[in-house]
Amino acid sequence: MVGVGGGIAAYKVCEVVRRLVESGHSVRVVPTESALRFVGAATWAALSGEPAPFSMWDDVHEVAHVRLGRDADLILVAPATAELLAKAAGGFADDLLTATLLTARCPIVFAPAMHTEMWEHPATRANVATLRSRGAVVVEPAVGRLTGPDSGPGRLPAPDALAMLARRALARGIAGLATDLAGRRVVVSAGGTREHLDPVRFLGNRSSGRQGYALAAAAVARGADVTLVAANVTLPDPAGARLVRVTSAAELHDAVLAAAPGADAVVMAAAVADFRPAEQLPDKIKKDPDGGVPPPVALVRTDDVLSELTGKAAEPGRMVVGFAAETGGSGRDVLALGREKLTRKGADLLVVNEVGESLGFDAADNAAVVLGADGSETVVPRGPKDALADVVWDLVVARLVPTDTAR
């Protein structure tokens, strides 16, 4: 079920409904009366293929709010206005949507959209905290242009990101684990760093950021407060994650260490350069017209973020997950190299994946073995990166310090 609040962002939810229907889901849209001032009931009915009830007084004999709440496998509320969040937190039931929220026993996801001042108001923050404490997923709004000249946090996430979030939350709800990261704060890194040699050239890698983005999206769907540090990624922003964009290994190092204090888990899925040019030249290196060979490029090591997270920047109770993209070599297989790295880095979990053509980097699928500091080995067969993301979070959740004893 999709509940639509009375905000101008309601027009974006039309695309969310369309995407969910096209992916095979049966969707019932329940708009508030104020939402119908932005998008009419006929539009919702046409997009969903189902009636779009909004009044408690229609079809009274069916007790619509009870039926809708019991039948739904997931409720996505978008846009969740400040008023709608307040009503849901306070248990108000003065229209069909809010009454349905009280009868529902399925996962509920709120996607807020409002002006920045309203989102940051203490009353709204308190209502969000209340809803999250009850197991609802309240995603962080996107940052960008709002109505009028305003810009800031409060923008409804992109429709494709919201539809993906709904599908992930629905899958986790069926598994009975919809919000097992509720109340947890996590940091995820994604993408590949670039180390500039001159204004044009850089040392980099083929990481697309897909695995890190899948981890961030999965964590949001499971109720976590997510900070995503993204290095040179061109993917659509995942709904509900706080995004920090970086370029180099040094920038990623600083961003991760700034976000890590107080986090319950840090997952280092980014492909971070081990080396950078010793000197970044101010001008483009020119070819010698006489065919001369350019001087060799001297390299120096970059800071080891993963080792710092488990070493001098370690915190009691915080889970640290590393990634090892390996190709084997020197007579040792990928797993042997992974075990050595796990011991050397001191991580709680290490996701070891062999990279190659159409596998690992810049590919839709991944296969891995997740090594645990406790000696465990979890084999994840080749499949979508979303599947690997859920396995990683399953392993993290099983090892997290219980919230009643956490920091």
Check whether 326 has a pLDDT greater than 80: no
Query: Do 221 and 160 lie in a common domain?
Result: no
138 bridge partner residues: 110
Q: Which domain holds residue 162?
A: 2-174
Which helix or strand (DSSP H or E) is residue 10 part of? helix 10-22
Instruction: Let me know whether 107 and 253 are in one domain.
Output: no
- What pLDDT score does 318 carry? 96
Q: Examine the domain organization and report whether 155 and 292 are in the same domain.
A: no
pLDDT of residue 79: 97
> How confident is the model over 122-171, as pLDDT tens digits?
999 999 999 988 888 898 898 888 887 888 889 999 999 899 889 888 87
Q: 219 and 168 in one domain? A: no
Tell me if 13 sits within 8 A of 157, measured CB to CB. Answer: no
Residues with Cβ within 8 Å of 58's Cβ and at least 6 positions away in sequence, in order, are: 64
What pLDDT, in 10s, does the model give residues 75-106?
Answer: 999 999 999 999 999 999 999 999 999 999 88
Q: In this structure, are residues 40 and 14 in contact, taking their beta carbons and an 8 Å threshold? A: no
The SS3 call for residue 211 is helix
Whether 366 and 234 map to the same domain: the answer is yes
Residue 238 inside a domain? The answer is yes
**What pLDDT is stored for residue 168 in this prediction?**
82
**198-208, pLDDT tens digit by residue?**
999 999 988 99
pLDDT surpassing 70 at residue 338? yes
Residue 62 vs residue 335, higher pLDDT: 335
Cβ of 202: how many Cβ atoms within 10 Å? Answer: 18
CB contact at 8 A, 327 and 354? yes
Both 234 and 110 in one domain: the answer is no
Tally of domains within the chain: 2
For residue 130, the domain's CATH number is: 3.40.50.1950
Are residue 167 and residue 189 in the same domain, yes or no? no
Of 127, 205, 232, 353, the catalytic one is: 205
> Do residues 365 and 388 share a domain?
yes
Residue 353 designated active-site: no
The H or E element spanning position 349 is strand 349-354
Residue 269 lies in a domain: yes
138 and 207 part of one domain = no
406 assigned to some structural domain:
no
Query: What confidence score (pLDDT) does residue 319 get?
Result: 96
**Phi–psi pair at 281, nearest 5 degrees:** -75, 145
Using CA atoms, how far apart are residues 265 and 226, in angstroms rounded to an integer?
A: 10
Whether the Cβ atoms of residue 131 and residue 89 lie closer than 8 Å to each other: yes
CA proximity to 95, closest of 80, 107, 84, 109? 84
Rg for the chain (alpha carbons), in Å? 24
As a whole number, mean pLDDT of residues 173-190 equals: 78
Q: Are residues 263 and 121 in the same domain?
A: no
The reported pLDDT for the residue numbered 169 is 81
Task: Give the residue-averaged pLDDT of 344-363.
Answer: 79
Residue finishing a domain among 118, 148, 174: 174
Residue 179: inside a domain: no
The pLDDT tens digits for 253-303 are 999 999 999 999 999 999 999 999 999 999 998 888 888 888 889 999 999
Check residue 367 and give its pLDDT: 87
pLDDT at position 230 is: 97
Tens digit of pLDDT for each residue in 15-69?
A: 999 999 999 999 999 999 999 999 999 999 999 999 998 877 676 556 566 788 8
Q: What is the pLDDT of residue 328?
A: 60
Q: For residue 114, how many C-alpha atoms fall within 13 Å in the half-sphere facing its CB?
A: 22
- In CATH, what number is assigned to the domain containing residue 394? 3.40.50.10300
**Pairing state between β 29-31 and 2-4:** parallel
